[in-house]
């Protein structure tokens, strides 16, 4: 089975700066992937490379088993919504839908879902609310019945209700088409609800990647009295340590059960885990971030 996205040592340089560097990642088929990371981490660059809008400076990227630049026909199977859901502002909603219908070879109008009934067809796109425009752009991307959907910061500028409606439309489309989805977002709370796979980019490289459930299963918060840190049984590495007064709080990657009863062991949430990996002290600019070793104890 060909993975929806397969990037090998992928890099993209803009003049002097690398937008993405040495990025090797495989997106599993059928996953809803959260592409997380702070601003300027390389999320948009990776999506643009996958959508065939940019050419790699080094390495390679294959989309659905094909090179998006050399075989642009693959893009008929990719639904891409750029940041801010750009559409022609002077078109009406009906004209926009008609335009998309005529310019796409595959078109399944059923995937517009409730968009035509909720948004008046004669409204000019420029007069739509941010939420309406986002849902219209998404519906148009879904009508292609894509095998891969790429969304760049779709929640920017949406209030919580519009964000929820956007997710409902997206997840209904996924249930119908079984498409793989990649959602770039710097706000983890926006994607936490839906994603079952995470790719965390920092400073242009992959910092953490994996199935959400497996990741959360292998990390724990340990709380205990402050003490010199030796090796802790069951702990593979310490991601973050925090001291407050006499208390010590560790975020650790485990390789077995924590048996020492002096630690209170708690599960970690996705947002907290990703924030810990995003912490700036863990990615000095001199070293390629994704190669940075964690602090190993024991």
Partner 1 sequence: MIEFHLDPRSGVATYLQIVQQVKEALRLGTISVGDQLPTVREVVADLAINPNTVAKAYRDLEREGLVIARQGRGTFVASTLAPAAASLRHYKGLRVELERWLEAAGNVGLDEESIRALISATLRETLARRVA
Q: Can you give the binding site for partner 1, defined by CB under 8 A?
A: 30-32, 164, 167-168, 171-172, 174-176, 192-196, 213, 216, 267, 269
CB of 114 to partner 1, least distance (A): 10
CB of 283 to partner 1, least distance (A): 27
Nearer to partner 1, 157 or 269 (CB): 269
Residue 41 structure tokens:
């981490």
CB of 188 to partner 1, least distance (A): 12
Nearer to partner 1, 50 or 167 (CB): 167
Nearer to partner 1, 101 or 193 (CB): 193
Nearer to partner 1, 72 or 160 (CB): 160
Residue 210 structure tokens:
């994996």
Which residue, chain included where needed, has tokens 């497996």? 214
Nearer to partner 1, 69 or 174 (CB): 174
In the 3-class helix/strand/coil scheme, how is the chain assigned residue by residue?
A: CCCCEEEEEEEEEECCEEEEEEEEEEECCCCEEEEECCCCCCHHHHHHHHCCCCCCCEEEEEECCECCCCCHHHHHHEEEECCCCCCCCCCEHHHHHHHHHHHCCCCCHHHHCCHHHHCCCCCEHHHCCHHHHHHHHHHHHHHCCCCEEEEECCCCCCCHHHHHHHHHHHHHHHHHHCCEEEEEECCHHHHHCCCCEEEEEECCEEEEEEEHHHHHHHEEEEEEECCCCCCCCCEEEEEEEEEECCEEEEEEEECCCCCCCCCEEEECCHHHHHHHHHCHHHCCCCCCHHHCCCEECC
CB of 164 to partner 1, least distance (A): 5
Where residue 16 falls (left for φ over 0; alpha for ψ -120 to 50; beta otherwise) is alpha
Nearer to partner 1, 40 or 174 (CB): 174
CA dist 241 and 261 (Å) reads: 19
CB of 282 to partner 1, least distance (A): 24
CB of 141 to partner 1, least distance (A): 17
Nearer to partner 1, 85 or 195 (CB): 195
CB of 111 to partner 1, least distance (A): 13
CB of 83 to partner 1, least distance (A): 21
Nearer to partner 1, 20 or 195 (CB): 195
Burial class (CB in 10 A: 0-12, 13-18, 19+), 68: buried
């Amino acid at each position: 089975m060909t993975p929806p996205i397969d990037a090998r040592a992928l890099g993209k340089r803009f003049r002097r700066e690398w937008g993405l560097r040495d990025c090797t990642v495989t997106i599993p088929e059928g996953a809803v992937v959260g592409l997380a990371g702070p601003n300027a981490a390389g999320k948009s660059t990776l999506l643009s490379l996958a959508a065939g809008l940019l050419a790699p400076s080094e390495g390679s990227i294959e989309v659905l088993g094909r090179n998006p630049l050399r075989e642009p026909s693959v893009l008929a199977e990719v639904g891409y919504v750029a940041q801010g859901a750009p559409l022609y502002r002077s078109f009406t909603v009906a004209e926009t839908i008609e335009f998309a219908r005529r310019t796409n070879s595959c078109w399944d109008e059923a995937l517009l879902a409730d968009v035509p009934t909720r948004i008046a067809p004669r409204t000019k796109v420029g007069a739509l609310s941010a939420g309406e425009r986002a849902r219209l752009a998404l519906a148009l991307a879904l009508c292609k019945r894509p095998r891969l959907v790429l969304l760049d910061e779709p929640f920017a500028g949406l209030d919580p209700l519009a964000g929820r409606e956007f997710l409902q439309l997206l997840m209904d489309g996924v249930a119908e088409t079984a498409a793989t989805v990649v959602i770039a977002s710097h706000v983890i709370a926006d994607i936490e609800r839906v994603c079952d796979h995470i790719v965390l980019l920092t400073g242009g490289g992959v910092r953490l990647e994996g199935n959400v459930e497996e990741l959360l299963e292998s990390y724990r918060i340990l709380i205990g009295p402050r003490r010199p840190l030796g090796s802790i049984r069951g702990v593979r590495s310490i991601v973050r340590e925090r001291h407050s007064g006499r208390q010590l709080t560790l975020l650790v990657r485990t390789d077995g059960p924590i048996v020492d009863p002096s630690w209170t062991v708690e599960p970690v949430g996705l947002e907290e885990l990703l924030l810990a990996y995003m912490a700036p002290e863990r990615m000095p600019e001199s070293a390629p971030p994704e190669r940075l070793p964690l602090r190993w104890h024991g």
